[in-house]
Chain A
Amino acid sequence: MPDALALYDALRANADAAYAAWRNPERPRIDVAIDQSSISNGALRTRAAIERVVAGRNAAVDLGRVHGYGIQWLHPLVQVTFPDGATVLYGPVTPADAEAIVDEASGRWGAAESLRIGTVTGARDGVPSLRDHPFFALEPRERRLLRNLGLTDPESLEHYIARDGYRASARMLGRHSTEDQIRTVMNDAGLTGRGGANFPTGVKWNFLFGAAGEDHYLVCNADEGDPGAWVNRVVMEGDPHLLIEGMLIGAFGTRSKQGYIYLRDEYPLAIARMEQAIAQAEAAGLLGEDILGTGLTFRLRVIRGAGAYVCGEETGLLSSIQDSRGMPRVKPPFPAQRGVFDKPSNVNNVESYANAPLILLHGSDWYRQYGTERATGTKIFSFSGDIARVGFMELPFGVPLAKVLEVCGGMVGGELKAIQSGGPLGSLLPPQSLPKLILQGDSFSPWDAIMGGGGIVFCNDQTSVLVLAEMFAAFVEEESCGRCTTCHGGNQRQTEILRRIIDGRGRREDEPNLKLIDRTLQFSNCVHGQFSPKITRNLLQHFHADYEAALRGEDPSLTMAGLYRVVVTNQYDPALAEAVAICPVAAFRGPAGNRSVDDAACIRCGACIDVAPKAVGKQAKARTVALN
């Protein structure tokens, strides 16, 4: 029987050679960062432009691909790797910059100076190291989960292997560890569920290992549905083999032969890269039947979701995999007792699995070097909203959120009004919580809040917190599976009440009714119903003055539809004609010089203000019915 490690060493030797040639190429190589965010910033057009320039000149450079680093406000990113191994990063690179990039890559150093961000590896005079960028100030100097971003082609198995990929699992498969040891090291590391629930991963694996029967299923929850969170996407698009290896380790530790990655439909590139990576791993003998000659089997498959938030709840997800409506059910039985196809199953988040190869390779003490006593290791977070620098980072647990806001460049467009964490079932925190919050779940508890899966949105004072609450209420209403009356009925009522208040028709009894709905929703069967009133509760707890003002008919942000009107502020501004023309509902009345906006026709879309901000504006409007 061939030894697993010998087979791995053969793979590794090839991979090392291929990677060395990529790191120190014979001629300069231009890599365009291709990921979902880059694409939204036009990275494909940038790449096409560079390709045209290179082809047109027959330039002596090659082209390649990487994943972005997290500095998304600088997308599209392009990096050039020179034959000495130095890699310089540029951004934002538009198609118009293609000439300059190709110039700089082909030896005209200085041509793209204004686009330089920093060096990824190696050194160049006058170019700072990327790691010294203030955005990364809170990250460990050596990234862990994100260690391969920018340093590998995410679509290359060889690159992953050359960076110690599959090394830990090859040792494991070569029987240098037992199933028990695998689960023990995860427990010793203190790895907990990264989806937001924080349940110890090793304990979950113990449940599945100890479950009856031979057919154990391992499931990855990649249905990252919280708007504002794209932590799992980064792992799957940036380093897909890290997730595969993590699941392979989980499969070994729980004696599972079949695995599913339930991946949301909104991540087409992640789906493509995961499916490609699975095929690569199978072809290399690292996945499928007889893995590395050990006789062990682990088949892995991507299940593409179709837009149902509640499939992120584990029983809903399992139901969705087995050809049914993805409706959560009552637990128990828990998945470890009855999961996919009624067989014992375990569901973990993408990031939970992604930690496993690193823990197995470096040990639990290494893992605990970062984080706190109660939350060990690092976690990926995505930060968005009204901040200067939108992106993602890998941070040790325990980092103060105020410092995060600092490295994100602070608020733009207004003062901090609210912090939104944990998605639509999460929280709305007031500005005074900021100095006290650290990135660790229990630090959010005093605010009746949760940290959640890693998405944090900073909101400025140009939006009403009631409008925010209504948006999340409408989301959870729409995504309720419909099984529990508390949830589908309660969420309809909650949304209707908030909408009526926004419309300037709030009532005194709305608050007690919202609290009644909150209490009732606690009796829903799953977390969707139970957590769905949390944001509205936070609104009443932390933003009561805003709530009261809204009832009175006051909204300083002028975003509550029923409490402001659009008015002409300058009859003689030449842009006013443009405002009249852009109005999609023809709400302007009167001749030039005597224009007005018909409030009943106006839909408050703001198009007129966009084109003529000095001729049209918002004006507060009192509520039209008395408050009683």
Chain B
Amino acid sequence: MPLETESKVRLRALVAEFRPNNGDLLAALHRVQHEFGYLSAEAMEVIGDQLGLFPAHVYGAASYYEEFRFEPQAHTNIRWCSGPACRLRNGNGIRDALLASLGIGHMNGQTEDGRVGVILGQCNGACEVAPMVWLEQHETHMIEPVGNMSAARAVRMARALRDGATIEEATNA
């Protein structure tokens, strides 16, 4: 019987360069999430070992931040921009249209088949294309900003993704 699971061995290798008391926790969490798409309980343990922290401390810190996930993510995430310029142009309607079209009850949820999720995004200052969303795929690390959204376009985009469209197809839906 192997002493460690395969994923644990991978995790250890990923965080091997990080040191205790060196401000490395966020970097370690980012590294693991980039690779796995989310942070598992196992990851808390391995990162804690590496940085001399209890897993509870690692989880406590990680769970403070919006960007860390603790469950496998949807194949494609629609990141909805919550910034003011977007809200002035029916941002709320776009959010509600996305959630309703996908049958997702709340932000940061996903469809039952795990194909599409809707997550919260923050303003990054491309407000000339407001309202906007980003389509993101963890597997390929692809991020596609889509500006000049409307609620109708949100419905078409969500339905296309739900039905298996690629990001490119969904953008043009």
A residues near B (Cβ < 8 Å) are: 36-37, 39-41, 72-73, 75, 225, 227-230, 233-234, 260, 265-267, 301, 303-308, 320-327, 340-341, 382, 384-386, 390-392, 420, 457, 459-460, 462-463, 467-468, 471-472, 475, 481, 582, 584-585, 603-611
Contacts and interface: CB of A to CB of B under 8 A. Distances in A.
Contacts, number: 181
Interface in B110-167: 121-130, 132, 145, 147, 150-156, 158
B12 interface: no
B145 A584 contact: no
B26 A605 contact: no
Given A303-B27, A320-B26, A228 B85 contact: yes
B84 A307 contact: no
B43 interface: no
A327 B60 CA distance: 12
14 contacts: A40-B147, A75-B128, A227-B84, A265-B67, A267-B124, A323-B25, A327-B64, A392-B125, A420-B84, A462-B88, A468-B87, A604-B96, A606-B151, A610-B152
A306 B29 contact: yes
Contacts of A325: 60-61, 64
B65 A233 contact: no
Contacts of A322: 21, 23
B83 A228 contact: yes
B27 to A, nearest CB: 7
B147 A585 contact: no
Contacts of B23: 260, 301, 303, 321-323, 340-341
A581 B101 CA distance: 12
Contacts of A304: 26-27, 30
A323 B48 CA distance: 11
B34 to A, nearest CB: 11
A72 B84 contact: no
Contacts of B62: 306
Contacts of B6: none
Given A321-B23, A325-B60, A306 B84 contact: no
A317 B29 CA distance: 17
Given A227-B82, A233-B125, A607 B145 contact: no
B88 A41 contact: no
Interface string B9-49: 00000000000010111110110000000000000000000
Contacts of B126: 36-37, 39-41, 72
Given A40-B145, A610-B151, A323 B124 contact: no
B78 interface: no
B68 interface: yes
A325 B68 CA distance: 13
Contacts of B82: 227, 471, 475
B122 A307 contact: yes
Nearest to A578: B152
Nearest to A36: B124
A606 B128 contact: no
B83 A227 contact: yes
Interface of B: 21, 23-27, 29-30, 51, 53, 57, 60-62, 64-68, 82-85, 87-88, 90, 92-94, 96-97, 100-101, 121-130, 132, 145, 147, 150-156, 158
Contacts of B127: 72, 228, 382, 384-385, 390
B85 A266 contact: no
A471 B30 CA distance: 29
Contacts of A40: 124, 126, 129, 132, 145, 147
Contacts of A320: 26
B60 A604 contact: no
Most chain-A Cβ atoms within 10 A of its Cβ — which of B128, B150, B155?
B128
A392 B124 CA distance: 13
Nearest to B22: A323
A499 to B, nearest CB: 12
A230 B124 contact: yes
Contact of B88 (A230, A340, A385): A385
Nearest to B25: A323
Given A37-B126, A324-B25, A603-B96, 10 more contacts: A306-B26, A306-B67, A307-B122, A324-B57, A341-B21, A385-B85, A390-B128, A584-B97, A606-B97, A607-B150
Nearest to A260: B23
Contacts of B150: 606-607, 610
A559 B164 CA distance: 33
Nearest to A234: B125
B123 to A, nearest CB: 4
A320 B64 CA distance: 10
A603 B66 contact: no
Nearest to A318: B23
Given A323-B51, A582-B156, A605 B65 contact: no
Given A36-B124, A303-B27, A321-B23, A611 B100 contact: no
